[in-house]
Amino acid sequence: MEQYSVKLLSHALQDLDSIYTYVAQTLVEPETAQTLIGQLEDAIFSLETFPHRCPERRNGTYANRGYRQLLIKNYTIVFRIDEMQRQVLVVTVRYSPSQF
């Protein structure tokens, strides 16, 4: 089984930072924030193997343009696959109930 490299684009990195800050500081749950970010990172890097298992995005931003999504907890990880470079590019990580 071929592996892909996973790259988080700057917006996705900012999203993860914002999620951590919100949970750790606003909700005052730093341990929960660390656990959540760990789970999101594990899910993101699981895309190294068979990223095509995730469905294409059909609604909202990034819909019907070749982007795929992975749902984990209450979050949606949006990414695209660059077959030429064997790379998964993570573009955003969003709270799933938000409209995007």
Per-residue pLDDT of the chain (100 residues; tens, 9 = 90+): 789 999 999 999 999 999 999 999 999 999 999 999 999 999 999 999 999 999 999 999 899 999 999 999 999 999 999 999 999 999 999 999 877 7
Q: What is the DSSP letter of 55?
A: P
In-domain check, residue 52: yes
Write down the pLDDT at residue 2: 82
User: Residue 100 in 3-state DSSP?
Assistant: coil
Would 100 be classed as within a structural domain? no
Segments forming the whole domain that contains residue 15? 3-93
- Nearest CA-CA partner of 99 in 40, 57, 55, 59: 59
* Nearest CA among 5, 29, 92 for reference residue 57: 92
Separation between Cα atoms, residue 64 and residue 84, nearest integer Å:
20
Cα Rg for the chain, rounded, in angstroms? Answer: 14
- Judge whether 98 lies within some domain: no
pTM: 0.93
b/e code 38-59 from CB counts within 10 Å (16+ = b) = eebeebbebbeeebeebeebee
Count how many domains the chain has: 1
